[in-house]
Amino acid sequence: MWIAQREGRALDGVDSTNPALIKMLLLGSDKSSQVETSNALNICPVTLSYEWDPCDMSKATRLIKDETLSTDEKLANDKLDILNGMLGYKGKITVRFGEPVCLATDPGIQQLPDTLAGAIDRQIRDNYALYPVNTLANKLVCNQFTLPASLSEQEISAADLLLQRLNADSFSDSLSQAQKNVVSAYAQPAIASSNK
């Protein structure tokens, strides 16, 4: 059975498991056996990595504008994003399966959902596939959105494609906030990988 790790989408590229999902999965179990129940579920984190996000600019713009949109506008945007997400260009796609999450010790009833969510998130982050756009975006974020001097050939190609996606002429600190949000979202897998 496939279950999403949270409600909705991560607009900023930071994916995290909602502990409420873990609580829901453990609802029917006896409080004294929740660790055994969670281990018996054989939760196996799956990481899907896309080279390109067909909804990158849409998500980045929604980070800025979402509070000002009406419910009808949000629903219309969601429908369009679902369609673009299914049919849009993603480039390379990598699917990696983690190991079943098994807790050796009982962290306590209060901490169990957070502990389990953290274990799931670690595996997802550890299994991200890094594409040239991710390492490029990380360098851009660290360099105030200007191109650093040393880039690999793959990162140079990714830079050209990213500029097209951003509808920008060059990288600089004068990129719009939405464009910076896109670059930051693409950087997240590289940032997570460097924090292992």
Q: Where are the domains of the chain?
A: 1-50+92-129, 54-89, 131-196
Q: Which of 192, 131, 129 is nearest to 158 (CA)?
A: 131
Distance CA 54, CA 82 (A): 10
Radius of gyration, CA atoms only, the chain: 19
pTM of the model: 0.85
Q: Report which listed range, 7-11, 33-37, 45-49, is most confident.
A: 45-49
Q: Report which listed range, 10-24, 75-89, 157-171, is most confident.
A: 157-171
Q: Which residue has the tokens 């429908």?
A: 79
